[in-house]
Structure 1
Amino acid sequence: MDTYTVLLVDDEEDVIQVIMKKINWEGLGFSVIGYANNGVKALEMVEEFQPDVVMTDINMPYMDGMELAGHIKADYPGTKLLLFTGFDEFEYAKEAVHLEVEEYILKPVNSIELTNVFTQLKIKLDQEISEKRNAEILKKYYLESLPLLQANFYTTLIEGHIHEEELEKYLSDYQISLSGPFFCCLVIHTSSSQVPKDINPLLLSASVEKQAKEYLGEKWRAKCFSYLGKTVLLAQLEKENEISELTDECDRFCRYVHRIIGANVTVGIGQVCNHILDLSKSYSSARDAISYRVLYGTSRAINIQEVAPSEKNNPGSSHETELSHLFKMIRLKEEPEIIEAVHAYLHSISFKEKSLQQHHLDVMELLSEFCRFAANNDIVLDELSKDMGELYGKISDMEQDMLEQWIVNISVALHEKLLSERNTSRKSFVEKAKDYVHNNYVNEELSLDSICEALGVSNSYFSTVFKKETGKSFIGYLTDYRMDRASRLLLETNEKSYIIGKKVGYTDPNYFSYVFKRRFGVSPSKYRTEYKESEK
């Protein structure tokens, strides 16, 4: 039996305590993950825990229940909402039909009525989960996926085999609308090693595809299909800078399907293009983005333009697979995997079966690709900065063992330089964010959205990097910085608390006092008084 999580929200703690004690939550199939005494705190907890049900009062400080419900429905549409209200608020609440509230409960809360509400809600949640997990429904959907002609067109398109003169006829004959004006390819990787018990991995992938189509399809006018064991979406954007919003939505989708059906999903987001035929390049870069899950983790969205903005497509060559694999290992893996990739590349060029002239061409090609990789990633390597003619003459005369060691040394050096550049880039990125906070903390509107817009990155990528480098969430860092500034102003000036609150970005003096007390354990006025008394 599934157990569902509940978040309780009311500014009267005694009401919450009564609800928690009078209801047999475990017996009903629910567990209370916590409670909040205002809408702002509740929204933070919803973001962190993503509960199945939020039961909230309407009349609360800082953010009322109606505003909270609106935020939840916009960002977490799968969460069920229950509103409990006073009699005089009941009709007002009933008017908010667009919030799709499951039930309106009048105060004072009756334990029998509440038990009945959660009993019915459990049945509804079970039915929804059952529909998503039912193997027969998934199997039917898998067999009845997109029409074959459309699927063949999409796969041929991302393979790069559609010609300009054929495009309009294909779109017309297969009734496909790709109006753009911008396009982006998404590749969804569903882990086959982390699968819920009694679920077939193939059917799980089909379920993820179905959820992706429902969650992302309409808003982004996305074409969804299966290709090489992965789900692929061709998303359409009105503006090029919508890519940050798309990245954040994909990030929420990853967490959503993990919670609903237990799938461990990573979404790779390719480069944005303005021509349909360039979707093949977007697809290739989306697959590269998936590879970065070894660095950034799974169950998240990875935008190739954020994690590898300066890296170009892998070089083509007569040994394209092995050479591409070598550069992929340089970017993503450690020394043992790099050495293995060098062995594979050297085996592919088969020295004993080729002429000396072909051997020299292979060496020249490899040297050229090393130099191109270094240039594309702004890497300066002493060994590759020498006179090219001299360097080519040196390595073309090397015996196989010496050449192999030279390639290993260059590959490992490139890997270490790339890793160092990434770390430097991340730290610089975080320092810019800190500077932005220091210069704009007075602005009450400063938020995660606004700083990401200023830096030109998605919320999900920014949050991951910022927390990894600082150990804090952005909101946590901003709040701490504001509180540190406020504490200094309290001790160094005689200004009133509400004035100081405004100076650090809080126009509501009550909320400023609430946040300050949560940080320092006392109100602003008491903080100042205690300090002055300690100075005597």
Structure 2
Amino acid sequence: MIEVLVAEDERPILRNIMKAIEAADPDFNVKYTAFNGKQAKEYLDTHQIDVAFLDINMPIYDGLFQLQYICDNNIDLIPVILTGYREFDYAKKALKYNAFDYLLKPLDEKELGNLLNKLKVEVEIKKKKQPFDSFEKISRNVFEDEGGMQNICFVASCFLGGCSGGSLSEETKTRQEDTERYLRKYIEGQVEKNRFWLAKGHLDSERILFVNGNTKQYRELLEGMISHADGSLLPITVVSSTGPVRISEINSVYQNLSDLAKERMEFGKSSIFFPEKKRQQEGGIDKARLEAVLEGIQPGITQDTLVKVFGHVIELAGTKRKYLEYGMKSFFLRLCEKVPTQISYLDIEEEIVLILENEFEYNKLIEKTESVVKEYFYVSVEPSKNRGGLAEELKKYIMKSYQFPFSSQIMEERFGYSAFYLRSVFKEAFGMSPNEFLLKVRMDKACLLLKQGIQAKDVASEVGFSDPLYFSKVFKKFTGSSPSECMGNGQSRR
């Protein structure tokens, strides 16, 4: 159950919000309510809360104060701002203090449902960050030296591709699987099988590597792991402990390594980092220069000029992925403020994450961003009737062709619109992306086939998966049951 705080000073509105949240998704339990900022702050200080919905205009302490308080005190929850106005000054300030999202009052049922789905994923990711008890339960023999060494090993956080947890295209998923296979094969060729362990991390893109060995061999292993990877694989970011770690210390060391990997990650480039004893202060993105560049975005700006402005933003951001993401978000926030569009900034932010999770070359990054600019700001908006018809056509196509490969390029060639526009139209009509709908169709069909007694490897092929093992992982994650369990349930009911 996801524990929720709602802070709203108008009681009838608060009651409606409570009911709407719990009706939209029973996994969310509005356990705490506050009618002013002081009450909300007391709950933040004394209770374990997963998600907090905070009204922007509360008396005593407003929503922005609460956000800053959460940020300054490292309170472990996910904040969402409630506002009656689509004001970009609020959005910019909320972004500064790490608000997860904002929700307009009165609540729109579809927007609320979409937000709760995103929150559920984020809560799941955060809960995985709780101490990994299983690490403590690893057989001590795996990391125990024959000479009687203490139970120690080297630990590394390895990201395969991005680190935002966004949706992956079919091509990126395939490359991620290939990259993991490469890692395992390379490590197995260098280290005895009972001397290493490669485990899943917090995000789908993260792996945690444990190795028992000496420092020289370990560093050579990491360097070889990066240098032997070919260009068809995803970029690999590795942040490793500088020395061996006792098993009892693994969790705290790992958390620091994982956070550092996200901070130091280079865009589109594999790299290895070891934490310095004294962290050097990073220069970061020059916010004054960024602001000066963004001043160039004014009403009436041409598409060509806007693309040049974006190029300057990319130059300022440099090679660090986190600065690139910050620069892109700042660019689109300002663009939404100055240039009319029918789409919200939050939808565009989803596109930013999609681009960063699936593109690893600057020319592709710029090309995809230019497509977003063109489609959302410089192409005439289709009448809602035409948009609905287009969404329905795409839905029918997916239902008919679910067993075949599906990608942004295929959508664009088939329907004559950019993938960004098609995703926007489809989500507006059905409350989910085309890829999410495709997965649902595939999993529903797979369930039916498994219950008929068809083997999992044959079902995988029938619903568009070339790798039966990957199909099993996806099926388990989507349904909560393994293919064999699903098959057994179907046969037991005959």
TM-score range, shorter chain: 0.3 to 0.5
Q: TM-score, normalised by structure 2?
A: 0.41
Between Structure 1 and Structure 2, the one with more helix by share is 1
Q: TM-score, normalised by structure 1?
A: 0.38
Pair member with larger Rg: 1
